[in-house]
Amino acid sequence: MQTTTIGSQTIPALGIGTWAWGDNLFWTYGKDYGAPEVKSAFDSAVNAGITLFDTAEIYGSGESERLIGQFAKKVKTPLFIATKYFPFPWRMGTAVVEKAIANSLARLQVDCIDLYQIHWPLHFLIPEKTLLQTLANAVKRGQIKNIGVSNYSAPQMRTAQKILADLGIPLVSNQVNYSLLLRKIETNGVLETAQELGIKIIAYSPLAQGLLTGKYRNTNPPKVPANSIPALALRD
């Protein structure tokens, strides 16, 4: 399989997203599928050589991380786990971020998270600098190996990269919506800036949430909320 590097680690370039694992807000975990099916998907992925698992503390309110933690314990293959912190407006201050990291570590049952990403650039009450400083401290404590961001624009990426560089830590990745249906990053400066600064782009919803797979037909339209990202992409 083609490989890529994130920070100092070389991993297969293809990873698996685990938003649907444990989530019944957007997906139908607990109704159409459950833990045995997710375990089977996990095993198939690992057997196919996948090591990058992308999750987030908000996926299934922690259930996605919990499932990965349980399954990863049972395989010998070293995995690369990427998770995310969600900067909800009511989450103020360093202590909240530190607690979020500790909770993710506990759910994932690991001592160190390979890639810890800021899920969205929503800095209402916690300034970007404070948030990144807190993550940098966690890197220094050995709780996080690499820091990434998600859904950051080119200028936001540049600012985050500069703050971290001043702390002696690289910004390794920006996870963004990128598929054959949504190629905005090729023209809005995100891809160019990432290449310039050596920041890896991680494509999310690469199958446009099923629109590219032939899953949906007139007789089987997507049951996604109105704020679905691919739906917005199609309206562009």
Using CB under 6 A, which of 19, 29, 71, 80 touches ligand NAP? 19
Indicate the residue among 7 and 15 with the shorter CB distance to ligand NAP. Answer: 15
Q: How many residues bind ligand NAP (CB under 6 A)?
A: 17
CA distance linking residue 29 with residue 164, whole number of Å: 37
Is-catalytic flag, 59? yes
Residue of this chain nearest to ligand NAP (CB atom): 17
Within residues 76-105, the interface with ligand NAP by CB under 6 A covers: none
Q: Which stretch binds ligand NAP (CB under 6 A): 3-11, 13-21, 132-140, 190-198?
A: 13-21
Indicate the residue among 122 and 167 with the shorter CB distance to ligand NAP. Answer: 122
Using CB under 6 A, which of 143, 173, 174, 205 touches ligand NAP? 205
Catalytic residue among 29, 33, 59, 178: 59
Nearest to 201 by CA among 182, 181, 180, 175: 175
Indicate the residue among 76 and 220 with the shorter CB distance to ligand NAP. Answer: 220
> Which residues neighbour 151 within 8 Å (Cβ) at sequence distance 6 or greater?
119, 120, 121, 175, 176, 177
Which amino acid, one-letter code, is at 31? K
CA distance linking residue 195 with residue 84, whole number of Å: 22
Nearest to 23 by CA among 15, 34, 12, 14: 34
Among all chains, which residue has been given the structure tokens 């990426």?
157
Within residues 170-199, the interface with ligand NAP by CB under 6 A covers: 175
Using CB under 6 A, which of 150, 156, 173, 174 touches ligand NAP? 150
Contact 101, 143 (CB under 8 A): yes
C-alpha 204 chain-centroid distance? 8
Contacting residues toward ligand NAP, per CB under 6 A? 17-19, 54, 119, 150-151, 175, 204-210, 213, 215
The residues carrying an active-site annotation are 59
